Amino acid sequence: MDNRQEAPNEKRERLRQQELQKNSSGALRDGFNRGETGNLTDLTGSMGWKGTGILIVVLIVGYVLYKLFS
């Protein structure tokens, strides 16, 4: 690492990334909980790429089923 002082927002992001790597299932749960009160960026950002992919697939399948039965 370099010798410069780490800004508070950089430190928060670094710690958040470390926590996501250690506890991925907790991150998914946090993403769903944050989705209740937050925006879509918070939801997908905390779920990771697998959770985001599953969310997109569920939305597409739901839309197709809706169009087939309506």
- Whether 63 is in a domain gets the answer yes
- Whether 46 is in a domain gets the answer yes
pLDDT, position 60: 96
pLDDT, position 15: 87
Overall average pLDDT of the 53-70 stretch: 92
- Whether 24 is in a domain gets the answer yes
Overall average pLDDT of the 40-56 stretch: 75
Is the pLDDT at 38 greater than 80, yes or no? no
Count: domains in the chain: 1
- 70 by DSSP, 3-state: which? coil
Return d(Cα 21, Cα 38) in angstroms, integer: 22
Q: Are 47 and 31 in contact (CB under 8 A)?
A: yes
Is the pLDDT at 28 greater than 80, yes or no? no
pLDDT, position 9: 84
- Whether 1 is in a domain gets the answer no
